[in-house]
Structure 1
Amino acid sequence: MPTGNGRNTKWKGSREAWLDAAFELLLESGVDSVRIQPLAKRLDVSRTSFYWFFKDREALLDALVERWREKNTQGLVRQTEAYAESITEAILNVFDCWLDPRLFDSQLEFAMRSWALQSEEVAREIDSADESRIEALARMFERFGFEPLAANVRGRTIYLTQIGYITMKTQEALEVRMRRIPAYVEIFTGQAPQARELQRFQARHGGAREVAT
């Protein structure tokens, strides 16, 4: 076993490595596959090294939920709070989430919602996340002068539309999504986006080929 301050930690991995491997299994095969022995095999480390980082499997699953909460819920909330000069620009900031998995991971969202079908605790987490996300979207509309009820309905419409895309596992070519973006923005806000707003949005996402939602 390696020793010393500069020792190679491959023999036990790292907390982040265990979490990354757990997410891979969650996405590939669902929560039932997220178990210590398969993870150790995937990481090529000792099974007992798991306990350097987590008390038990439940602690690992709790960490998965926390990481999802930070990535998807906080990622979406941050986009609703991003600087924008108009509501249409603000909506395009939110749409960044649907095109950039670094901001919001749709595959992870699908996996979590599938997990929630088996776990009342995770289902409660999903309910809480849905409420927080819709509230953030409503606050964004209110910031641009929409009345609270209208802001809430518009926020719910945007959010439930996207969750529908995710649960249906819809896939769209980027060029198809980009053609639809201006109409989505106008339907959701009642205002057509400015050409310069669309150009900035398109420039942010011009490198992608396909949108999986």
Structure 2
Amino acid sequence: MTRQSEKKKPASTRRPRLSLDDWTDAGLQLLVTEGRGAVKIARLCNELGVTKGSFYWHFADIEELMHAIAARYCSHDNDTLRGLTSIEEMPVRDRLAHMGATLVEDRAWATEVAIRDWARTDPQVAESVRALDQRIMSVVENAFRELGFDDREARIRAGTLVYAGIGFVYGRDNIATPTVDEIQDLVAILTRM
């Protein structure tokens, strides 16, 4: 063996293949920070340090990526992050208290606003957001039914919480956000027979 062959080869600078989640995460980040217009194939490839071929391995075009972002954000898989998958195992009053508290938690408000704003101009995204809102409404409405409210009362009370949550998303920077205690007081009022 020669001295040259005994030297270690330099480590490869090649990145591992990006997953669908890597692309949707990067696209969502751009959507949130700079808006829909900033999400471009060349920009994403540059930021991720890959070629366009890597993008086209997963997506036919930018619209396919955008719809993957919306579908992932509004999917049943993302329900876990919102606590919707495990919440139905809680006692009903605890469930409502927990959901009420999440209305004012410091969470991904910017993402929620970006997705909802995008839904105003894209019918497919709007449908994903509508399906998510309906799942949330169903969980809350069922909780009120478990407490003994009839269908109409359950729907009205659930709507109060769900619409409050959507309102907190849009009004967050304009009006004082209620405290967790104030939200708990609201839940107590809504659960009173």
What range is the shorter-chain TM-score in? Answer: 0.7 to 0.9
Contact 1:106–1:166, Cα closer than 8 Å, also in 2: yes
Q: 2: distance between equivalents of 1:48 and 1:153? A: 51
Q: What is the RMSD computed on CA atoms of the aligned residues?
A: 2.7
Alignment pair present for 1:127 and 2:130: yes
The question of 1:27 aligning with 2:32 is answered yes
Residue 80 (structure 2) pairs with residue 78 (structure 1): no
Q: Deviations over 1:64-106 (max 9, x none)?
A: 112111265563532551311x42x1212213533264xxx43
Q: Give the whole-Å Cα distance in 2 for the aligned partners of 1:81 and 1:58.
A: 35
Query: What is the TM-score with the length of structure 1 in the denominator?
Result: 0.72
> 4+ runs of 1 displaced by more than 6 Å?
171-174
Percent of aligned pairs with the same amino acid: 26
The partner residue of 1:185 within 184, 187, 191 is: 187
Matched with 1:159 is 162
Q: Tell me the distance in 1 between the aligned counterparts of 2:179 and 2:114.
A: 23
**Structure 2 stretches lacking a partner, 5+ long:** 1-11
Matching residue's letter, 2:150: E
CA distance in 2, matches of 1:94, 1:179: 13
Number of residues paired by the alignment?
179
Contact kept? 1:80, 1:137, Cα under 8 Å: no
Structure with greater contact order relative to length (CA < 8 Å, sep ≥ 6): 2
Cα deviations across residues 6-27 of structure 1 (Å, max 9, x unaligned)?
x876164332221111110011
**Alignment partner of 1:143 out of 146, 154, 157:** 146
* Change in CA separation of 1:122 and 1:81 when aligned onto 2, cut-off 3 Å: same
- Report which of the two structures shows the higher radius of gyration computed on alpha carbons: 2
Pairing 1:57–2:62 present: yes
Q: TM-score, normalised by structure 2?
A: 0.78
Alignment partner, residue 98 of structure 2: 93
Instruction: Find the residue that maps to 1:61 and give its secondary structure.
Output: helix
Secondary structure, counterpart of 1:55 in structure 2 = coil
Q: Secondary structure at the match of 1:45?
A: coil
Equivalent pair of 1:36/1:50 in contact (CA under 8 Å): yes
Distance 1:12 1:80, change over 3 A: closer
